[in-house]
């Protein structure tokens, strides 16, 4: 895959993560601090988190097709890096109560859930694209008598 295609995929991932992170912040915030109120600057938080979570995904870039074990290892590294980034943000944030283990576990769990959901949605999109390509190829072969 070319770097341009890879970059476009990561841009798509950024917007997907922004949406999923916004939902997670709303759900977790409602559960742990429902009365909190924030200014407009807080609306940038999901964008910053998504951007910082996309950066570790560049570890999976390769010009050649990765073997299954290589892909799994890179995805595991990617997840560990994303977890580390998000937990770093949590522990350095003055508004997140990381003294409560439940808060830390919920953050780590939500990162895992978001990671799985993003991978699943990406797989759905790629499967749909592959299906369309295969259908187009089949039509092309029928038209040209192959």
Sign of CA dihedral 25, 27, 28, 30: positive
* pLDDT given at position 2: 80
Q: What is the DSSP string of 98-139?
A: TTSHHHHHHHHHHHHHHHHHHHHHHHHHHHHHHHHHHHHHHH
* pLDDT given at position 80: 94
Number of domains in the chain: 1
Q: What is the DSSP string of 51-66?
A: HHHHGGGGGG--SSPP
| 3-class DSSP assignment, residue 144 | coil
Query: Which residues, including other chains, have CB under 8 Å from residue 54's CB and lie 6 or more apart?
Result: 10, 13, 14, 17
* pLDDT given at position 48: 92
What is the spatial distance between Cα 21 and Cα 26, in angstroms, rounded to a whole number?
Answer: 8
Query: CA dihedral defined by 61, 76, 90, 113, rounded to 10 degrees?
Result: 100
Query: Rg of the chain over CA atoms, in angstroms?
Result: 19
* pLDDT given at position 132: 93
- Give me the domain span that covers residue 88: 3-143
Residue matched to tokens 């070319």: 2
* pLDDT given at position 146: 65
Task: Tell me the pLDDT of the chain (146 aa) as tens digits.
Answer: 788 888 888 999 999 999 999 999 899 888 888 888 888 888 899 999 999 999 988 877 788 888 999 989 988 999 999 999 999 999 999 888 899 999 999 999 999 999 999 999 999 999 999 999 999 999 998 888 76
């Amino acid at each position: 895959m070319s770097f341009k295609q890879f970059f476009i995929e990561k841009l798509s991932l950024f917007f997907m993560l922004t949406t999923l992170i916004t939902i997670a912040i709303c759900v977790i915030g409602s559960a742990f601090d429902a009365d909190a109120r924030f200014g407009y600057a807080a609306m940038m938080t999901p964008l910053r988190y998504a951007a910082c979570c996309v950066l570790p995904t560049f570890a999976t870039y390769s010009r050649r097709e990765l073997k299954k074990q290589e892909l799994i290892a890179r995805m595991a590294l990617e997840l560990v890096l994303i977890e580390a980034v998000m937990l770093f943000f949590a522990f350095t944030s003055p508004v997140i109560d990381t003294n409560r283990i439940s808060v830390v576990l919920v953050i780590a769990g939500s990162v895992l859930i978001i990671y799985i959901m993003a991978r699943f949605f990406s797989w759905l999109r790629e499967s749909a694209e592959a299906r369309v390509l295969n259908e187009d190829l089949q039509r092309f072969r029928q038209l040209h008598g192959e």
